[in-house]
Every structure is written in C-alpha cells, then in structure tokens.
Chains A and B, each alone.
Chain A
C-alpha cells in the first residue's frame, strides 16, 4: 500500500510568490501507543508561511501526528515514534534533542482554550520570562495581543485573570501567548471546536493574518474551515483492513486542487460527505 503524496511544487498559484521552503519535513514511519499502531507511513512536508490543514475522520491520527511535531506526545506513556521530523537542519527525534527546547521553538494552541490562572499580561509574558527575554516586555505583550486581535478588548484590564475572558477571547489569548516568543511554527489542534461561530470566524481571520510571519499547521474536523483557511490540506484516513485502526495520510496537496480534483477515490468520498 502506498499513500500517494502529491508533489505540488509546480501547481502553486502565482499570487503566492514566496519560494517554497519546507520548514518541517515530517516523515512518519510508525507511531505506536503501547502495542497499538496509531499512524503509519505518512510523509508531510510543511511549507513556510503557509497554513497546512489536517483533515480526516476522527481517530485517524491527526492530533497524534500534530503533537509528534513538537514532541508533546512524549508525555504519553508508551508513546513510540519511528521516522524523522526535520526542522532547521535537525532531526527532532534524534537522541540528542531535548524535547523541552523543541517546544520553545514550535508553539502550540490546543482544542480547549487553556490560559494560565494568572493575569492576561502574565499569560502573554509567560514564554518571554521562560526564555529569559531581556527587553521591553510591555512592547512584546502589546504586540502579541495586537497580532492576536485581542488588544482592544483587553488593553484596559491587563491585570485581570486570563480565565475571566470569554471562550473566544481565551483562545485568542492562548494564540497571543504562543506567538509572543515568535516561534517560527505554530501548531493548532482544532482551535475553534470549542468556540461559537463568531469567535471561530475571528480566529480563522487571525490565522490567515498570522501566516505572513509564521508557518501554521492546523487540525480541523471541519472541511469548510480547511477550505477557508488552509493553503495546503492533508487528508488522513483510517485503515481497518489489517485488524487494527491505523491512521495514514491518503493524500496532500493545494487545498483548492484537493477539493476540486481529489487524486484518490477515498478522498472524493470523504469530501462529498459519504463518511465522516
């Protein structure tokens, strides 16, 4: 079985003139939880300053792959990763790599908004303090909150607890917290699934805004969302033929291309809503 990973180097729309640079080259061979093979054989090149969307039925390993990129899965006991993830010239799964340092360079936004129980200001300044940033904290906090489209709503109450905000505001606070240290890559696992439609729209606009300076990878269970925000889309599915429930990459390509003209029958069926 081979999963066809399309090479879209040539099919880029001309408007996106930025050269295609692969910032993260993620080659999953096998990912296990204990003896359970969760994901196999998936090659996902992540392009710089683009939004890459992961879609697919639930349980197909989208979160597993995403969290492997910043080594969040190291927290899970019995998690094992076979393969390579190249980022800035290093294999993140090399034995010498410190996962803590990896997470400081690859930011993450979670499904449930999870601000710290501290002031809005301290939430955003958290990463700066962690990295012993020496400089103008006020400026960096304001910049991050502005970029997260939250500044106007919170500028008069920066001392209030971050948990006192609404769900949508909390999620934008989490985005501000993640971008304050300016990590080159931002991972988002279904960042809108706990939000109402208006907040969802705000966060989506934010993501598109952010890609000027960041590379984003987002997991979404919502195909419309993938179409609205993702430049490239990776479609995962579950393989139940061999007794297990193993996720794998079916195909990956430019979003418009993938939705208009899927290369695999499975993708076509999924996109037309024949299974979910």
Chain B
C-alpha cells in the first residue's frame, strides 16, 4: 500500500514555518526601510506645505519680525552654485573617466586617481568647504557663489568620475569592435559609440552627484555664506558676492525664535527634498529607458 503524498501547504511543518517566518521578516524589513523617507516627506508636507504659494518662490527672505516673505533667492542661489559645480565636475570627471576606462586603465596615474576618488567620496563634506575657503575665499577676499560652486564641485567630482568610468566599462567590447570594423579611429569609437552607449549611466551618476551637492550645507557656510538679496541684479559680477542657498537658509532659519522663519525653513526643506526626489526619479527613468 502506497500512501498518496499530501501536497497541500502545511504551516505546522518546521520547514514551511521557517520559510514563512523568514519571508515575512524580509518583507517587514523592506517596508521598514521605506519608513524614514516617507515620514520625512509627511512631516515636510504638513509643516512646509502650508507656505507653498507663488510668494515662496518669488519673494526675498523676511527680516526678523516681518511676516510673509519667501526663499526665491535661495532657490536661485542653489541652482546657480550647483550649476557652477556641474560645469566644473562634469567635464573634468568624464574626461578623467575616459582616460581611466579606455586609455590608461592600468597605468600608475589611473590607479592613483581611482584611489583618491574613492577616498574623496568618503571625506566629510565640511573639508571641501574648508579647502575652498583657503583656496578661493582667502585668495579672492570674498565669500561668493564661485567659491561655493568650487566647494560643491569637489564633492561631485569623484562620484561623477567613478560612475562614468563604470558606465564606460560596461559598454560591451564587441560594440567597440564593431566600431573599429566600420573604420572608426580610436577617438571616433569613443565619441560616436562608447560614450553614447554609456550616456544613461553617466547621466545617472551626474544626477546623483547633483542631488547630493544640492543638499550640502557645511561646504557653503565657509564659502558662499548667505545673502538676503537676489544674486542677479546686474551682470556676472554678482557671482563674486555672498550667495543664498536653500541648505544654508534652512540652517539659519530653523534656529531662529520666529515662527515665520521656522515655517520658511520647513518650506525650504520641502523644496529641497522635492528637487532631490525629482533628480533621482529622472535619473531612474533615464537608466530604465535604455533597457
């Protein structure tokens, strides 16, 4: 007599029970990991959301006992300084990455550059501020958007360089071979085939670096300081003036004893998080479209 096997799931069996508990645990931990982001977003929306109006984006920050006001100059300041930082870090980082990935893979300089970049990614951001203070603020004699941009570019450069190198390496060898077979010179292989194929990965890296730089406070405290005025009132000379930024505004206003300023600090935080979120989602979409 052969007993027919019972295929129904039986949770009392130790094997099944263990598997059930473990998989429940993993799901629970995954959900838990989402909690911080969503609770931060929730608090920001509740506390910062009520100041969301046109005024927030167009007005200057209020003085101590004023009512109303906005964070317009800080938004512009952050965009300008992140822009300056990108103008420095992106071309440098990508050209360096081309060398690291393609032409000088195993050379001594490549090894040293890669090692320094990896170390740089772990260095506290305040050091970038101190360095830019010594190298730019002291030399030019003024806090400025340029000094802030340079400090931020130091933080962006290693991320841009390392992710770009990785993206270039990921381009299949056979694709480069095809380009050579079509009669491309080495630099044509790079510009016409390898870089376009690596582009989504490189853009992702740049976006992540920008997102990180946009939220940095410490490097800007020493370099751009803050300003209660618009950065653009005339020509480019304004780039050599102290400049407002969202991060420093949050830092300044959150410590003030005035409800108006504290509300604006919350609103600025929400704007900053939305900017970072926007960059992250865009970079995801770009890297997904490639598949």
Contact = CB atoms under 8 A, between A and B. Distances in A.
Given A116-B175, A117-B290, A127 B180 contact: no
Nearest to A111: B174
Interface string A50-75: 00000000000000000000101001
Interface residues on B, range: 10 to 19
B180 A114 contact: no
A110 B178 contact: yes
Interface string B165-208: 00000011011011111111100100011001100000000000
B183 A117 contact: no
Chain B binding surface SS class: helix
B29 to A, nearest CB: 36
B178 A116 contact: yes
B99 to A, nearest CB: 19
A126 interface: yes
A108 B183 CA distance: 10
A100 B185 contact: yes
B19 to A, nearest CB: 38
Contacts of B184: 100, 130
A269 B192 CA distance: 48
Contacts of B192: 126, 130
Contacts of B185: 100
B265 to A, nearest CB: 45
A118 B196 contact: yes
A218 to B, nearest CB: 15
Nearest to B289: A161
Interface residues of A, number: 25
A228 B59 CA distance: 78
A127 B196 contact: no
A104 B182 contact: yes
A218 B175 CA distance: 20
Contacts of B183: 100-104, 127, 130-131
A264 to B, nearest CB: 33
A107 B181 CA distance: 7
Contacts of B178: 110, 114-116, 174, 177
Most chain A C-beta atoms within 10 Å of own C-beta, residue among B174, B182, B184: B182
A117 B175 contact: yes
Given A116-B193, A117-B197, A117-B290, A103 B177 contact: no
A177 B184 CA distance: 14
Contacts of A127: 182-183
A50 B275 CA distance: 62
Interface in B21-72: none
Contacts of B172: 114
Contacts of A104: 182-183
A116 to B, nearest CB: 6
Interface in A100-137: 100-104, 107-108, 110, 112, 114-118, 126-127, 130-131
Nearest to B175: A114
Contacts of A131: 183
Interface in A118-170: 118, 126-127, 130-131, 161
Nearest to B178: A114
A114 B174 contact: yes
A100 B179 CA distance: 11
Nearest to A129: B192
Contact of A130 (B171, B182, B196): B182
A100 to B, nearest CB: 5
B182 A114 contact: no
Given A116-B197, A130-B188, A70 B175 contact: no
Nearest to B188: A130
Nearest to B174: A114
Contacts of B197: 116-118
Interface string B67-88: 0000000000000000000000
Given A110-B174, A118-B197, A178-B181, 18 more contacts: A72-B181, A75-B177, A100-B185, A102-B183, A104-B182, A104-B183, A107-B181, A108-B181, A114-B172, A114-B178, A116-B179, A116-B196, A116-B197, A117-B171, A117-B290, A161-B290, A174-B178, A178-B182
Interface of B: 171-172, 174-175, 177-185, 188, 192-193, 196-197, 290
Interface of A: 70, 72, 75, 100-104, 107-108, 110, 112, 114-118, 126-127, 130-131, 161, 174, 177-178
